[in-house]
Chains A and B, each alone.
Chain A
Amino acid sequence: MSNPASTTHTPGVLPTGTEVLIEAVGLRKTFGDFVAVDGIDVQVHRGEAFGFLGPNGAGKSSTMRMIGCVSPVSGGSLRILGMDPALDGARIRARLGVVPQQDSLDGELTVRDNLYVYGRYFGIPRAECRRMATELLEFANLTDRADSLVDPLSGGMKRRLTIARALINSPEILLLDEPTTGLDPQARHVLWDRLFRLKRSGVTLVLTTHYMDEAEQLCDRLVVMDKGRIAAEGSPRSLIEQWSTREVLELRFDEDDLSPHARRVEGIGERVEVLPDRLLLYVDDGEAAGRAVHERGVRPLSSLVRRSTLEDVFLRLTGRSLVD
């Protein structure tokens, strides 16, 4: 299909990485005494896929709602597309696409009418809305469900429809808050495929996730958030290089207290993390580390060598897992 977002960009626009679309400086969000976002600095450039990675309650959604111009800024400054959300909220929203964490589709309308009605909120002419709806149904792989009501659709279909709906105004920035939470693995992959296509076509993606594989798959650059603050920033690869080792040796034990084992393998790698059911050894060469463990007489139930992931980065930065 022709790309729904292709009309977004004027020819001769600055290449990726130069034009700043979103800039937050010392951005804060408070609810009474509770500090949800505690002074974050973020820059998102045109054409990139930018992620907020962090556990539930890290302040990701509050940040997204401020960027979406539906939640007022409590402190610091925020500029989106060169404008101030407090003054130009409606003008900014006209150029954003929003995929909220919780679906806000209209169950009583058909799939096609959901797109049509949403397009009209942007003041897009009726004929244009109908044309876009047809095109986006194709993109979301929902053409054969066009005239069915939304309620009976599967979770994955609803998510795809929500993304399609967010594209009806050919947005320059697509905001995705936990786009694949609650979906089965196959539905997630279908969704990722669609997001890849959008990214290739030049749409700037900003997403939050607590899935490290999603962040690694989709993001060019991301910030790791924890308790309202940014713990680290970089590309997935650079974050792993900076905060973890090349490989991780996982040792499983069938025991309650793993600390004695942890002491015995100390020094084999850069560091050891003790999880409830296993030890993680951060090493450059997993095979060699495995042999060293064996030489020290440690006999795990099973062992496994894998590459470092963002999960390891998060564990290193915060001492906790992303998904508990």
Chain B
Amino acid sequence: MDPTLVAVRERPRPPLRVLEYFLVLLRRTFRGTIFTGFLSPLLYLVALGYGLGSLVDRGQGLDGVPYVQFIAPGILVATAMQIGVFDASYPVLGAIRWDRQYHAMLATPVGVRDVVTGHIAGITLRSLLSAVVFLVVAYALRAVPSWTGVLSLVAVLLVTVAYATPMFAIAARAQTDVSFTLVFRLGVIPMFLFSGTFFPVSQLPTAIQPIAYVIPLWHGSSLARDATLGTLSWGMDLLHVGYLLLWCVLGGWLATRTLRRRMVV
């Protein structure tokens, strides 16, 4: 090895290298990503927030909060969940079985942990990108009343990772993609509907309310809502952050372990 060449080489930071791959990929699909990433939540916001909202607001309302302002943060983090779950499903299995990108990465100095970190970072970045566009539009539409709404991006980040990492583990175990449909139908959709996206969990029968409190999305939507409505409070919101972090750490550990078992044989 030519010593001068060694000198020019940067210190390897493998997770960033993996992230860079996903950025190159994102650059290629940029427009489509942004479009799907914020258009569908925007449709929800308009249809439900204004359409349905005009009916809701005629009643007693939600503690004086206009309905569109109530569901904007809910839709924001529910979208983060969907991106997290979806991007860690087919793409992960594909990188193992179909296109085999992980095999290419692991033949280089990149390790299993770097692959997981880099891929999750890529997913999170895409999720944040969509969220930023959505927030700007929602702010312009007066669906986000407070400047602290920017902090809802923290909820987006945590929810994306909290969902992407366990899904990564499921995908890294899967032989085929049949289980994914099951996860979407029995996992994602119920959580989307019953975790405080469209109505407060307190509207649910008291018996099943505790279930919602276990679901990471509920913590995410509560946190994001406090941010966009400007009602952040240290105690409760730190609890939400802590609970979501727990899922991130647990999911990250599980994803790494599962991928290692799959790839290092």
Chain A residues within CB distance 8 Å of chain B: 7-8, 10, 31, 68, 70-72, 89-91, 93-96, 98, 100, 102-109, 113, 116-118, 120-125, 128, 165, 169-170, 172
Q: Which residue of B lies closest to A100 (CB)?
A: B103
Contact with A along B164-185 (1 / 0, CB 8 A): 0000000000000000000000
Residues of chain A within 8 A (CB-CB) of B110 are: 90, 121
Contact with A along B101-119 (1 / 0, CB 8 A): 1011111111100000000
User: In the complex, what distance in Å separates the CA atom of A106 from the CA atom of B17?
Assistant: 15
Interface size for chain B: under 10, 10 to 19, 20 to 34, or 35 or more residues? Answer: 20 to 34
Contact with A along B221-254 (1 / 0, CB 8 A): 0000000000000000000000000000000000
Q: Is the CB of A120 within 8 A of B25?
A: no
Q: Is the CB of A123 within 8 A of B99?
A: no
Q: Is the CB of B99 within 8 A of A107?
A: yes
Q: Which residue of B lies closest to A6 (CB)?
A: B2
**Cβ of B207 < 8 Å from any Cβ of A?**
no
Which stretch in B4-12, B49-57, B58-66, B77-85 binds the other chain?
A: B4-12
Residues of chain B within 8 A (CB-CB) of A96 are: 107
Pick 23 A–B contacts, CB within 8 A, sort by A: A7-B5, A70-B106, A71-B264, A72-B264, A91-B109, A94-B109, A100-B103, A100-B107, A103-B100, A104-B103, A104-B104, A108-B29, A108-B99, A109-B25, A120-B20, A121-B14, A121-B17, A122-B108, A123-B14, A123-B109, A125-B10, A128-B8, A169-B108
- A sample of 13 more A-B contacts (CB under 8 A), given A7-B5, A106-B21, A107-B99, is A70-B103, A90-B14, A90-B111, A94-B109, A100-B103, A102-B100, A103-B100, A108-B25, A120-B17, A121-B104, A121-B105, A122-B12, A123-B10
Closest 6 CB pairs of A and B: A123-B12, A104-B100, A121-B108, A104-B104, A98-B107, A90-B109
A29 to chain B: closest CB distance in Å?
10
Residues of chain B within 8 A (CB-CB) of A120 are: 17, 20-21
User: In the complex, what distance in Å separates the CA atom of A93 from the CA atom of B110?
Assistant: 9
Residues of chain B within 8 A (CB-CB) of A105 are: 99, 104
User: In the complex, what distance in Å separates the CA atom of A90 from the CA atom of B8?
Assistant: 19
User: In the complex, what distance in Å separates the CA atom of A255 from the CA atom of B160?
Assistant: 70
A160 to chain B: closest CB distance in Å?
16
A131 to chain B: closest CB distance in Å?
11
Residues of chain A within 8 A (CB-CB) of B28 are: 108-109
B23 to chain A: closest CB distance in Å?
10
User: In the complex, what distance in Å separates the CA atom of A69 from the CA atom of B4?
Assistant: 27
Residues of chain B within 8 A (CB-CB) of A95 are: 1
Known: A72-B264, A108-B25. A123 touches B13 (CB 8 A): yes
Known: A104-B103, A118-B104. A10 touches B17 (CB 8 A): no
